[in-house]
C-alpha cells in the first residue's frame, strides 16, 4: 500500500504539478469539491479588477467594442470548444445550464415534431441531475411529450423504443461519478431514430469529450465546476452544425437576432450558434469564466485533457485503494465504478448512517468534500462525494484526505451534535 | 437663458449633489449614457475584490451559506422592490430581462388560457424594445397567440379589444424616452379583461414606479442601466402576489424548486417569486448589481425616487431649453415629450442627417451619448440619445454637454470620415 512518502514522490515526478500554480488554493486545505465549485484561478483577481475598474469604470459603454465584451460569449465558447471536441464557432457561453438545456430541448423537440411527429418520448435516468429532469418535465408538459425515466443505466437500451424522440443524459452522474459511453449511447439513440442530448456539467474539463466523435446532437455544460469559472458562472451550449440553422429556440432575445443593433421589430435568428444566445450576457461573470477556462487550456502543452485524464484516474485509483485498505470495517462502500472507462473524476462512498456528519467533520479538519442525500425508497444510501481536479490536486492531497477520514471514523468525532446540523446548502 | 454660472450655482445648492461621490466618474467625462450602462459605483471594486478573493478564493463552496450567496437573488430583489413599489419577497434578481420576460409571458399566457381561452392576442407597440417583441413573437408562435402592434401610444386604447390576453409595454421607451401612464394603461387593460405586463428597463431607478398602485400584473426590469449594476447585470422579475402561485413558468430549473437541495426527480415549484428563479445565478455579477442598487437606495434619506425624479426633470428641462436656444437652426428636433408626466429620464433629438457622426464627435469631446437608427419607412429620423442619471450628473454637466454639441455643429467637425465609420455596437 502507498505511503505518504510514495505520494510525495509521485507529486515530485508529476509533469502536471506546475499547473497547481495557476490557482489560489487556501493554505492547508485539501479541496475535493471542484466538482461543485472550482478553485479561484490565480489570474482572476487582477483580471476582475481590470474588468471592473478599467473596462467598466473608465471604458464604460465603449468597452462593448474596445474591451471585447461583445465577443465574450463566442470567444470563451471557442475556448471551451477545444475541451469538448467542438470546432470554432460551434459553442457560446451564456445563461445557466438549465436555461441552455431549455433552448436545446425546445429546438430538438421542434425538429422531431417536424421530422418524426409520432415520437413523443424523452428518455433519461431517474438519477439524472434534477434540473435536467425538471426542464424536460416542463417542456413535455408544454409540448405534449412524455418523460421515460430508467432506474439503471443498463435499462437505457430497452427504453429506446420507436416512440422515442430524444435521449437526454448527463455524461457523468453528479452523485455517483459514473461515466456514460457517449459514442455508444448516441449510436443507440440514432439507431432507434432518436436524437442525443448531452449535459457535460461533470465532464467538461474533467474527462476527454469529443462531441463530434461521440455522435452528440446537442450539448450543454456548466462553467463553475471543472472549468473553474466562479460561483454561478455562465454555462455553455453546443449544437451540431447540421442542426443549428434548422430551428429557432424560443428564448429568442435580441442577442440571438441576426442584426441585434438594427433594432428591427421582427425576429430573424442569427446564423449558427449565436441564435442560442438570448439577452445581454453577464460580462463580469463571463470574464471570470474565461480565467477559469484558461486554467484548463494551460494543460494543452502538457498533453491537455488526455494527460489530465491520466492523472485524474491515478488520483481516484489511489483514493479508492487507500480508503478500502485504511477504512475497512467502517461501513463505507464504493459507489463509483471501479472500471476506468465508466468513472468520471470523482469518487463517491455510501454509508448507511452519518454521511452528512462525516463530511462536516472532514471539513472541520480541512478536507472539503460534500454530501448528497440517498433515497431510502430506492435502496440508495447517503453519499460522501469527493471530486478530484487534477489541475490543482496532488497525490499527497489524496493521502491527507484519507488520513483525515481515518481519524474522523476512528475517533467517532462525527457523532458530535454540531456536525449533524444541516445548513441551507451543502 | 441659463448661464454656466447659473448651472454651477444650482449644483452648489443641489441637495442630491453628494450622491455623486458614490461613483467613480472618469475625470472630465460628461456621461449621458447611464440609460445604456450605469457608472461604476465607488464601492464596487473593493466589494468585487472581496467576493473574488475572499468569498470565492478562501470560502469556496462554503460561501453559499457563509457569504450569503444563496440569498443574493432575494436580497437584491428586495432592495429593488423598494424602488418599484414591491413588498419584500415579491422580487428576485436572476437571468436576463429577455429570459425573465419569457417566464412571465409564459405564466401569463397559461393563466389566460385557463381563465379566458378565447383571448388570443398580445398588444404592444411596434416601437417597444425589440427583445420584448422577439420573445413575445416566439411565445405567440409556440402557443398560438397573435401579436398586435400599434404605431403610436394613442392607438393602444383601440387595440384593447375583447380578444386581448395581455398588454405588454415598456414603461419608458428606449428610443424616445416617452413615459407611459402605468396606472391608466393597466386600468384600460383590466377593463378590457386583459392582464398588464410591464418592462421597467428604463424606469427602475429612473422614475418613481409603484407596481401595486400602477395595477401591474407582471413586471421585469434591467440591472445595468439606472440601477448601475455593471455590464450585463442580472435582471429582475416581479409577479403580483395574487398570481404568483397560480402557475409554473416553464424555465423550471432547480433553483425554482420547492426543495432544490433535496435533489428529487419530480418538479414542485417553490412558493412565491422564488419559482421565477431557474438555474444557479451568476454570483459575481449579482454582487456587482447589489453595489449598483445600493447607490440608488443611498438617495432614500434625501427623498428617494421622488427627489431623484425632481432633479431628473430639472436636468432634462435644462438640456431641452439650452439645446433649443443654442442649437437653433442646426436641424435638431425634440423627440422626447415636453410634458413632465410623459417624459422619462432621457432626451432624444432627431436629425435628418449625421446623427451617428455627431454622437461620435461628441464622444471625442468627452460627452458620451448614443445613437439609435431611425426607420425611414415609417418617417422616423435617426436619433441622438442622452440619458440623465440624477445620481451622478449635475447642471454644469448639462451645460457642458450642450456647449460641446454647439461646437460640433458650428465647426461641422462631425463630417470628418472617422466619425462616420460604424462599430459593431454603439
A391 and A242 inside one domain: no
| Number of domains, chain A | 2
Query: Read out DSSP for B80-119?
Result: HHHHHT--TTSEEE-S-HHHHHHHHHHHHHHHHHHH-TT-
Look up B385 and say whether it is catalytic.
Answer: yes
B53 and A61 within 8 Å at the Cβ level: the answer is: no
What length is written for chain A? 426
Which chain B residues contact residue A250 at CB under 8 A?
Answer: 102, 138-139, 141-142
Return mean pLDDT, chain B: 96
Residues contacting A289, CB < 8 A, separation 6+:
A76, A93, A223, A224, A227, A229, A230, A233, A234
Task: Give dist(CA B364, CA B78) in Å, integer.
Answer: 40
Q: Chain A closest CA to B326's CA: distance in Å?
A: 27
pLDDT (0 to 100) of residue A379: 86
- Cα within 13 Å of Cα(B262), Cβ side: 12
Which chain B residues contact residue A231 at CB under 8 A?
Answer: 55-56, 63-64, 69, 280, 282-284
B53 belongs to a structural domain? no
pLDDT digits (tens, 9 = 90+) for A160-191: 999 999 999 999 999 999 999 999 999 999 99
Q: How far is CA B266 from CA A159, A235, A252, in A?
A: 19, 23, 27
Give the residue from B249, B268, B297 where a domain finishes: B297
Check B224, B226, B236, B395 and give the catalytic one: B224
A63 belongs to a structural domain? no
Which chain B residues contact residue A363 at CB under 8 A?
Answer: 62
Q: From the list A253, A261, A264, which residue is nearest B425 (CB)? A: A261
Which chain A residues contact residue B267 at CB under 8 A?
Answer: 133-134, 137-138
Which chain B residues contact residue A254 at CB under 8 A?
Answer: 98, 129-131, 134
By three-state DSSP, how is residue A211 classified? coil
A149 and B265 within 8 Å at the Cβ level: the answer is: yes
Give the residue from B297, B327, B343 where a domain finishes: B297
Contact A234, A77 (CB under 8 A): no
Q: From the list B52, B248, B264, which residue is nearest A45 (CB)? A: B52
B288 and A98 within 8 Å at the Cβ level: the answer is: no
A232 belongs to a structural domain? yes
**Residue B132 annotated as lining a ligand binding site:** yes
A327 and A280 inside one domain: no
- Residue of A67, A282, A421, A426 to mutate when probing chain B, most B C-beta within 10 A: A282
Q: From the list A24, A58, A250, which residue is nearest B142 (CB)? A: A250
Task: Give dist(CA B133, CA B173) in Å, integer.
Answer: 13
Cell numbers representing residue A71 in the block: 465577443
Bigger pLDDT: B189 or B380? B189
Residue of chain A with shortest Cα separation from B280: A232
pLDDT (0 to 100) of residue A262: 86
B316 belongs to a structural domain? yes
A276 and A366 inside one domain: no
pLDDT above 70 as % of chain B: 99
Check B10, B20, B119, B225 and give the catalytic one: B225
Return mean pLDDT, chain A: 96
A98 and A188 inside one domain: yes
Chain-centre distance for alpha carbon A338:
20
Over residues A323-335, mean pLDDT:
97
**Residue B170 annotated as lining a ligand binding site:** yes
Give the position of cell 459511453: A181
Convert B50-88 to b/e letters by CB count within 10 Å (16 or more is b).
ebbbebbbbbbbbbbeebebbebbbbbbbbbbbbbbbee
For residues A412, A415, A419, A424, the Cα torsion angle rounded to the nearest 10 degrees is 130
pLDDT at position A426 over 50:
no
State ipTM. 0.97
Task: Give dist(CA B380, CA B382) in Å, integer.
Answer: 7
Residue in A353, A360, A407, A341 with CA at minimum distance from that of residue A382: A353
Residues contributing to the annotated binding site of A for pyridoxal 5'-phosphate = 97-98, 129-132, 170, 199, 202, 224, 254, 280
Contact B398, B7 (CB under 8 A): yes
Q: What are phi and psi of B343, to 5 degrees?
A: -115, 130
pLDDT digits (tens, 9 = 90+) for B223-248: 999 999 999 999 999 999 999 999 98
Over residues A389-403, mean pLDDT:
98
By three-state DSSP, how is residue B229 classified? coil
Residue of chain B with shortest Cα separation from A248: B138
H-helix segments, B23-163? 44-49, 63-66, 72-84, 97-115, 130-143, 156-159
A426 belongs to a structural domain? no
Q: What are phi and psi of A222, to 5 degrees?
A: -105, 140
Over residues B19-32, mean pLDDT:
97
pLDDT above 90 as % of chain B: 94
Q: Chain B closest CA to A149's CA: distance in Å?
A: 10
Structural domain of A367 = 4-40+303-420
Which chain A residues contact residue B260 at CB under 8 A?
Answer: 130
Neighbours of B240 (CB within 10 A): 17
Look up B422 and say whether it is catalytic.
Answer: no
A vs B: CB pairs below 8 A:
283
A253 and A330 inside one domain: no
**DSSP-based helix, strand, coil % in chain A, nearest 5:** 45, 15, 40
B77 and B195 inside one domain: yes
Q: How far is CA B411 from CA B3, B189, B360, B386, B420, in A?
A: 22, 50, 14, 21, 16
pLDDT (0 to 100) of residue B140: 97
pLDDT at position B205 over 70:
yes
pLDDT (0 to 100) of residue A1: 84
B239 and B322 inside one domain: no
- Residue of B25, B74, B131, B376 to mutate when probing chain A, most A C-beta within 10 A: B131
pLDDT at position B9 over 50:
yes
A323 belongs to a structural domain? yes
Over residues A329-355, mean pLDDT:
97
Give the position of cell 465574450: A72
Give the residue from A275, A297, A319 where a domain finishes: A297
pLDDT above 70 as % of chain A: 99
A272 belongs to a structural domain? yes
B155 and B291 inside one domain: yes
Contact B300, B291 (CB under 8 A): no
pLDDT digits (tens, 9 = 90+) for B162-181: 999 999 999 999 999 999 99
Look up B225 and say whether it is catalytic.
Answer: yes
Contact B348, B387 (CB under 8 A): no
pLDDT (0 to 100) of residue B426: 44
pLDDT band at A229 (very low <50, low <70, confident <90, very high): very high
- Catalytic residue set of A: 129, 199, 224-225, 385
Q: What CATH code is carried by the domain that includes residue A288?
A: 3.40.640.10
Q: What CATH code is carried by the domain that includes residue A332?
A: 3.90.1150.10
A145 belongs to a structural domain? yes
Q: From the list A37, A231, A254, which residue is nearest B284 (CB)? A: A231
pLDDT (0 to 100) of residue A424: 53
pLDDT band at A354 (very low <50, low <70, confident <90, very high): very high
pLDDT at position B158 over 80:
yes
pLDDT (0 to 100) of residue A423: 64
A133 and B370 within 8 Å at the Cβ level: the answer is: no
B265 and A69 within 8 Å at the Cβ level: the answer is: no
**DSSP-based helix, strand, coil % in chain B, nearest 5:** 45, 15, 40
A26 and A125 inside one domain: no
A17 and A115 inside one domain: no
pLDDT at position B266 over 60:
yes
Q: From the list A24, A45, A370, which residue is nearest B49 (CB)? A: A45
pLDDT (0 to 100) of residue B421: 84
pLDDT digits (tens, 9 = 90+) for A74-112: 999 999 999 999 999 999 999 999 999 999 999 999 999
Q: Chain A closest CA to B27's CA: distance in Å?
A: 9
A81 and A223 inside one domain: yes
Q: Chain B closest CA to A1's CA: distance in Å?
A: 32
pLDDT (0 to 100) of residue A425: 53
**Of A90-104, A205-219, A410-424, B72-86, which range is least confident?**
A410-424
pLDDT digits (tens, 9 = 90+) for A263-318: 888 999 999 999 999 999 999 999 999 999 999 999 999 999 999 999 999 999 99
Over residues A190-208, mean pLDDT:
98
Contact A207, A344 (CB under 8 A): yes
B140 and B159 inside one domain: yes
Q: Chain A closest CA to B126's CA: distance in Å?
A: 6
pLDDT at position B424 over 90:
no
Over residues B106-119, mean pLDDT:
96
Task: Give dist(CA A283, CA A55) in Å, integer.
Answer: 10
Q: What are phi and psi of B120, to 5 degrees?
A: -130, 20
pLDDT (0 to 100) of residue A376: 84
Over residues B313-336, mean pLDDT:
97
Q: From the list A263, A267, A284, which residue is nearest B373 (CB)? A: A263
Task: Give dist(CA A337, CA A372) in Å, integer.
Answer: 17
Exposed, middle or buried: residue A158 (CB in 10 Å: 0-12, 13-18, 19+)? exposed
pLDDT at position B36 over 80:
yes
Which chain A residues contact residue B423 at CB under 8 A?
Answer: 65
Chain-centre distance for alpha carbon B140:
24
DSSP letter for A131, please: H
pLDDT band at B1 (very low <50, low <70, confident <90, very high): confident
Q: From the list A138, A265, A424, which residue is nearest B250 (CB)? A: A138
Chain-centre distance for alpha carbon A156:
21
Which chain B residues contact residue A60 at CB under 8 A?
Answer: 26, 29, 31, 33, 37, 39-40, 368
Cell numbers representing residue B138 in the block: 416566439
Amino acid at each position: 500500500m502507498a505511503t505518504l512518502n510514495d505520494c510525495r514522490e509521485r507529486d515530485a515526478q508529476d509533469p502536471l504539478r506546475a499547473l497547481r500554480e495557476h490557482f489560489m488554493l487556501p493554505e492547508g486545505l485539501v479541496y475535493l469539491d471542484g466538482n461543485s465549485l472550482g478553485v479561484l484561478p490565480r489570474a482572476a483577481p487582477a483580471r476582475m479588477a481590470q474588468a471592473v475598474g478599467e473596462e467598466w469604470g473608465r471604458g464604460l459603454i465603449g468597452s462593448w467594442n474596445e474591451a471585447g465584451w461583445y465577443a465574450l460569449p463566442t470567444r470563451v465558447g471557442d475556448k471551451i470548444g477545444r475541451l469538448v471536441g467542438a470546432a470554432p464557432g460551434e459553442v457560446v457561453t451564456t445563461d445557466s445550464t438549465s436555461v441552455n438545456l431549455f433552448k436545446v430541448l425546445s429546438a430538438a423537440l421542434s425538429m422531431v415534431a417536424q421530422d418524426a411527429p409520432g415520437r413523443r418520448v424523452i428518455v433519461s435516468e431517474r438519477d439524472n441531475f434534477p434540473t435536467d429532469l425538471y426542464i424536460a418535465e416542463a417542456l413535455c408538459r408544454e409540448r405534449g411529450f412524455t418523460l421515460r425515466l430508467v432506474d439503471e443505466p443498463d435499462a437505457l437500451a430497452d427504453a429506446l423504443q420507436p416512440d422515442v424522440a430524444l435521449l437526454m443524459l448527463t455524461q457523468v452522474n453528479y452523485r455517483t461519478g459514473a461515466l456514460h459511453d457517449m459514442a455508444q449511447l448516441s449510436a443507440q439513440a440514432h439507431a432507434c431514430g432518436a436524437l442525443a442530448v448531452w449535459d457535460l456539467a461533470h465532464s467538461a474539463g474533467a474527462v476527454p469529450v469529443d462531441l463530434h466523435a461521440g455522435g452528440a446532437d446537442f450539448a450543454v455544460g456548466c462553467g463553475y465546476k471543472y472549468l473553474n469559472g466562479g460561483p454561478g458562472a455562465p454555462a455553455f451550449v453546443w449544437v451540431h452544425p447540421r442542426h443549428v440553422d434548422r430551428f429557432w429556440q424560443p428564448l429568442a432575445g435580441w442577442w440571438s437576432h441576426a442584426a441585434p443593433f438594427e433594432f428591427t421589430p421582427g425576429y430573424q435568428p442569427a446564423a449558427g450558434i449565436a441564435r442560442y444566445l438570448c439577452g445581454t450576457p453577464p460580462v463580469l461573470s463571463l470574464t471570470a469564466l474565461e480565467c477559469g477556462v484558461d486554467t484548463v487550456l494551460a494543460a494543452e502543452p502538457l498533453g491537455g485533457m488526455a494527460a489530465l485524464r491520466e492523472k485524474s484516474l491515478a488520483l481516484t485509483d489511489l483514493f479508492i485503494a487507500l480508503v478500502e485498505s485504511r477504512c475497512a470495517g467502517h461501513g463505507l462502500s464504493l459507489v463509483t465504478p471501479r472500471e476506468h472507462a465508466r468513472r468520471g473524476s470523482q469518487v463517491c462512498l455510501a454509508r448507511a448512517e452519518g454521511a452528512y456528519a462525516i463530511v462536516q467533520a472532514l471539513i472541520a479538519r480541512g478536507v472539503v468534500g460534500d454530501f448528497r442525500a440517498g433515497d431510502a425508497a430506492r435502496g440508495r444510501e447517503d453519499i460522501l462525494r469527493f471530486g478530484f481536479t487534477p489541475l490543482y490536486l496532488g497525490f499527497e492531497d489524496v493521502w491527507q484526505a484519507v488520513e483525515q477520514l481515518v481519524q474522523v471514523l476512528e475517533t467517532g468525532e462525527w457523532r458530535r451534535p454540531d456536525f449533524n446540523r444541516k445548513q441551507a446548502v451543502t
